[in-house]
Amino acid sequence: MSTSSDLLVEIGTEELPPTALHSLCTAFAESLGRLLTEHHLAHADSKGYAAPRRLAVLIRDVPANQPDREVVRRGPALTAAFDEDGIPTSPAEGFARSCGVPVAELDQLETDKGSFLARRSVEAGQPATAIIPELVERALKGLPIPRRMRWGAGTAEFVRPVHWVLLLLGDQVVEADILGVRSGGTTRGHRFHCNKTLAISHPSDYLQTLEQPGHVLADMDRRREAIRTQIIEAGAALGGTTSIDADLLDEVTALVEWPVAITGTFEEHFLEVPAEALVSSMQYHQKFFPVVDGNGTLLPYFITVANIASSDPRQVQAGNERVIRPRLKDAAFFWDQDRKVALESRAERLAGVIFQQQLGSLADKQQRIARIATRIAEAAGFNTEQVQRAAALCKCDLLTSMVYEFPELQGIMGRYYARHDGEPVEVAAALDEQYQPRYAGDDLPSTATGQAIAIADRLDTLAGIFAIGKPPTGDKDPFGLRRAALGVLRIVIERRLDLDLRTLIDTAVQGMPDGLNTETVSAAVFAFMMERLRGYYLDNDYDIDVFEAVLARHPPRPLDFDQRMAAVKAFRNLPESASLAAANKRIGNILRKADSDIPDAYAGELLREDAEQALASAVSDLDNTVSPMLEKRDYTNALCKLAALQAPVDRFFDDVMVMDEDTALRANRLALLSTLSKLFLQVADISRLQN
């Protein structure tokens, strides 16, 4: 065997869960690569492969042996190892015996903590083949598998039963028992096209052998791209465009080993049903890709991806058409039945649906949303009547047959049913927009009414879950509160709504059911949302010290917070910012340590030094200049103007003794510095900016 060889590991299983396949593949490759490095088997790149019946890792240039390592065992300090005459003490003798050598053969070890007796030896590196099996087992045990299973009479546990293990280092089979299965040098092909074992003579042959004759595309990226290409071509052949949902594409990639696109059709009369309901039936229930025209209008076609190249694809097409038709009939039936009853007539039944045991029913929640949304409408100048109407209807579609069958259509169907009932367009749109943003990067509500309901709904949930003592802990967030908080912040900031978050949180908390201890809830929810705001700005390329500078002033309005953030970010790019930030930090320290009361204002007649007179003049002039800007929240221009204080501030600290022995002069100079500090603090605490 050469000094280094490629390592190939494949775990052959029953069909793996498709939604977890990519994460399992990535984790397996990363974990095994890391373990090899930790055990002194340095290697080149590693690549994970996965298909429904296999997890594999190919790691390049793994050495045949660990390198020999010098092992240094430290003993007692030299001061304790020998007496005044240089005779070894009991600790030295005991250490030598434990090392199996006389004291004379021990070495000395020099460290920053002193000199010690030591024993140096060389530990021979182990063959890689002796180490790899244990590392593979450890990597497999560390995979993110929420629930493992056993099979047969064995004790091994894995996400699915294991049928074969391929373990090669170069052209050598690494003998091992992995998950109760003896390793070998073979894999298996496609369950139908090539249902037999296939010998792999070298890791470099793996992908090609699986593809032909195995009929397995083991590379997930290549398989995904093959599917994408096929379904795009199939959609074009039908005279339309394939609508590709990224999550569905990933799931289908994890469901097939040999993808073959198959087209199908359905009756045009189904197109009378809202397109979202048909798409939901196709995508989420059947794993089909819809086809749309150039305007995005749904066409009566679909594309599925088979895991077999059928000799009679028309039979496969007919089978899929038979399967989708009942689903579309159900959607059409629900659409017809739901429209027979007005949406608002379902409101009374919300009282019988529990939102959360301690927080009451959906009717209770809907009433709380109405109260908060009304407060938002009044503060933002929205149409209060429309907001209240949308709030009265916002959860009614949850009791429709369509949403019961297709929960992912909540809000969407509310919009359709509201328009059918003749509700105003904005009210109907708000019933859908209340759930926006549904995920990171999703669109925000575009209507004022939708924004009010979306904010109110999330604030009610945040206040309620905190009130019952179940805030997120660690990585657990069963109620989606982090997403809810970020949704509120995004809507307020990106839709430029000048709302007081503290006031709205108080409104939400005041609406909680009797019997809950809500004394500290408002503060806790606000602090929680500020942490989400921190992440929001870090994700948008703001530095943490800019955020901390603004947070120190505790602005309760997220839009105002955002305007301050932009101002401080611009100020930080000015050449004067570093000096002024340092000066403000120095001023803050001086004021905190002052042992006397600081006057509210400085007295001009007590300004003795030229430098302090110049600073006072500059502060006075700039105060008059920036005050109108601050009233208009033109923080950026205000800070840029205040940058002119750098020169007089620097001169002041060079020429003036602040803590003068004369108590009157000292107090006056402290008052001048306090006035200067307050100018900046009207925007942010710039002393927190780092150089």
Q: Which of 338, 364, 380 is the last residue of a domain?
A: 338
Q: Taken in order 373, 378, 380, 386, is the CA torsion positive or negative?
A: positive
Beta bridge partners of 183: 165
Among 378, 393, 463, 401, residue whose Cα is nearest residue 432: 393
In a domain, 556, yes or no: no
Question: Is the per-residue pLDDT at 68 higher than 90?
Answer: no
The dihedral built from the CA positions of residue 520, 523, 527 and 528, taken in this order, carries a sign that is positive
Give the total number of structural domains in the chain.
5
Mean pLDDT confidence for 45-57: 96
pLDDT mean over 624-652: 93
379 and 410 in a single domain? The answer is: yes
Whether residue 195 is contained in a domain is answered as: yes
In a domain, 553, yes or no: no
Same domain, yes or no, for 257 and 309?
yes
Contact 684, 550 (CB under 8 A): yes
Looking at the fold, whether 112 and 143 belong to one and the same domain comes out as no
- Relative orientation angle of helices 544-551 and 521-539, to the nearest 10 degrees: 150
Q: Are 49 and 220 in contact (CB under 8 A)?
A: yes
- Note whether 271 and 313 are same-domain residues: yes
Check if the beta carbon of residue 328 is closer than 8 Å to that of residue 281: yes
Average pLDDT for residues 659-665, to the nearest whole number?
A: 87
Specify if 557 maps to a domain: no
Residue 601 to residue 688: CA distance in whole angstroms: 25
332-364 pLDDT tens trace: 999 999 999 999 999 999 999 999 999 999 999
pLDDT of residue 237: 96
pTM: 0.82
pLDDT at 440 over 50: yes
Provide mean pLDDT across the span 84-110: 90
Buried b (16+ CB within 10 A) or exposed e, 270-306: beebbebbbbbbbbbebebbbbbeeeeebbbbbbbbb
Sign of the CA dihedral running 396, 398, 401, 407: positive
Q: What is the pLDDT of residues 538-596, one digit of tens each?
A: 999 999 999 999 999 999 999 999 999 999 999 999 999 999 999 999 998 888 888 67
- Give me the residues paired with residue 166 across strands: 10, 184
Phi, psi of 553 (to 5 degrees): -90, -5
Same domain as 263, residue 157: no
pLDDT given at position 469: 94
Q: Does 531 lie in the same domain as 656? A: no
Closest CA to 568 of 624, 497, 642: 642
Q: Please state the rounded mean pLDDT for residues 633-646.
A: 93
Helices (H), 423-495: 425-433, 448-467, 481-494
Highest mean pLDDT among 60-74, 197-211, 643-657: 197-211
Confidence of residue 663 (pLDDT cuts 50, 70, 90): confident
- Longest Cα–Cα distance of the chain, Å, equals 106
The reply to whether 104 and 131 lie within a common domain is no
CA dihedral 627, 632, 633, 634 (to 10 degrees): -80
**Segment among 52-61, 92-101, 201-210, 271-280 with least mean pLDDT:** 92-101
- Condensed to tens digits (0 to 9), the pLDDT of residues 205-218 reads 999 999 999 999 99
> In the structure encoding, which two tokens stand for residue 357, read together?
């045991």
pLDDT at 304 over 80: yes
DSSP assigned state of 283: I
Residue 660 predicted with pLDDT over 70? yes
Full residue range of the structural domain in which residue 114 is found: 70-123
10 beta partners? 56, 166
Indicate the average pLDDT of the chain: 94
Provide the token pair at 381.
Answer: 């100048």
Give the pLDDT score at 1.
Answer: 42
Q: What is the mean pLDDT of residues 514-530?
A: 95
Reported as a single tens digit per residue, the pLDDT across 133-179 is 999 999 999 999 988 999 988 899 999 999 999 999 999 999 999 99
Q: Do 40 and 139 belong together in one domain?
A: yes
pLDDT confidence band for 301 (50 / 70 / 90): very high
Residues 18 and 107 in one domain: no
- The model's pLDDT over 398-424, given as tens digits with 9 standing for 90+, comes to 999 999 999 999 999 999 999 999 999
DSSP state of 635: H
Among the residue ranges 241-245, 504-508, 596-600, 633-637, the one predicted with the least confidence is 596-600
pLDDT band at 112 (very low <50, low <70, confident <90, very high): confident
- pLDDT on residue 605: 87
CA torsion sign, 501 to 503 to 508 to 509? positive
361, β-bridge pairs: 354
- Other CB atoms within 10 A of residue 2 CB: 9
Do 580 and 431 share a structural domain? no
Task: Specify the 3-state DSSP secondary structure of 9.
Answer: strand
Tell me if the bond preceding 437 is cis, omega within 30° of 0. Answer: yes
Domain shared by 431 and 410, yes or no:
yes
Q: Are 348 and 427 in contact (CB under 8 A)?
A: no
Taking CA atoms, 550 is separated from 542, 554, 563, in Å, by: 12, 7, 10
Residue 346 lies in a domain: no
Q: Are residues 385 and 423 in the same domain?
A: yes
pLDDT in the model for residue 595: 66
CATH number, position 133:
3.30.70
> Which of the pair, 459 or 658, is modelled with greater confidence?
459
55 within domain boundaries = yes
Q: What is the CATH number of the domain that holds 599?
A: 1.10.730.10
* Reported confidence tier of residue 604, pLDDT bands at 50, 70, 90: confident
Is the Cα dihedral 356, 359, 361, 364 positive or negative? negative
Q: What tokens appear for 612 in the block?
A: 């302090």
305: pLDDT strictly greater than 70: yes
For residues 469 and 447, give the distance between their C-alpha atoms in angstroms, rounded to a whole number.
33
Angle between helices 18-38 and 220-237 (to 10 degrees): 150
Distance CA 42, CA 22 (A): 25
Quote the CA–CA distance of 453 and 433 in Å, as a whole number: 8
Domain end point (choices 484, 506, 541)? 541
Give first-to-last CA distance, the chain, whole Å. Answer: 56
Q: How would you classify the pairing of strands 162-169 and 181-184?
A: parallel
Residue 457: CATH number of its domain: 1.10.3210
Identify the domain boundary among 123, 142, 159: 123
Q: What is the mean pLDDT of residues 519-525?
A: 96
Residue 59 covered by a domain:
yes
Query: Can you read off the two tokens belonging to residue 370?
Result: 């109405």
| Gap between the Cα atoms of 568 and 543, Å rounded | 10
Q: Is residue 136 part of a domain?
A: yes
**pLDDT above 90 covers what percent of the chain?**
85
| Closest by Cα among 411, 409, 393, 415 to 346 | 393
Judged by DSSP in three states, 179 sits in: coil
CB 516 within 8 A of CB 358: yes
Give me the residues paired with residue 51 across strands. 54
Strands 162-169 and 4-13: antiparallel
Strand pairing of 177-178 and 181-184?
antiparallel
Number of Cβ atoms within 10 Å of the Cβ of 576: 18
